[in-house]
């Protein structure tokens, strides 16, 4: 649906036959569909050596260093991860395709700080 919207908005934004207002509305629509596609196809949780990056609403992201993570729990039934920070804040990560690998990577990086 977003690709169809993008295919409809881009010609309207680039054509010179339309009024400026219609071209502006088409450009805003095209940018909105591009942002929607990025949110839909982009990775939400990225495990990096420096820390955990959470990108729920692109382009806004949150970086959590490994030393701030106190505990990581798998919530049974819902099958998502709940991360507890040292400050007491709890982050619920969205469901991912390979939950076990994500959990193992996060625990590996978090416990490497203790070594």
Listing DSSP states for the chain in one string gives: -HHHHHHHHHHHHH-SSS-HHHHHHHHHHHHHHHHHHHHHHS-SEEE-SSEEEE-SSTT--EEEEGGGEEEEEEETTTTEEEEEETTS-EEEPPP-S-HHHHHHHHHHHHHHTT-
Q: Each residue's pLDDT tens digit in the chain (115 positions)?
A: 889 989 999 988 888 788 889 999 999 999 999 888 877 776 677 778 788 888 877 678 889 898 888 888 877 777 778 889 989 999 888 766 667 777 788 778 777 766 5
pTM greater than 0.85: no
């Amino acid at each position: 649906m977003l690709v169809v919207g993008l295919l409809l908005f881009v010609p309207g934004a680039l054509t010179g036959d339309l009024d400026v207002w219609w071209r502006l509305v088409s450009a805003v629509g095209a940018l909105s569909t591009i942002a929607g596609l990025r949110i839909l196809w982009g990775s939400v949780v990225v495990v990096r050596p420096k820390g955990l990056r959470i990108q729920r609403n692109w382009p806004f992201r949150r970086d959590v260093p490994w030393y701030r993570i106190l505990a990581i729990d798998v919530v049974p039934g819902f099958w998502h991860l709940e991360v507890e920070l040292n400050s007491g804040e709890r982050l619920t990560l969205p469901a991912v395709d390979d939950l076990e690998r994500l959990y193992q990577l996060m625990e590996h990086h978090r416990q490497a700080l203790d070594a």
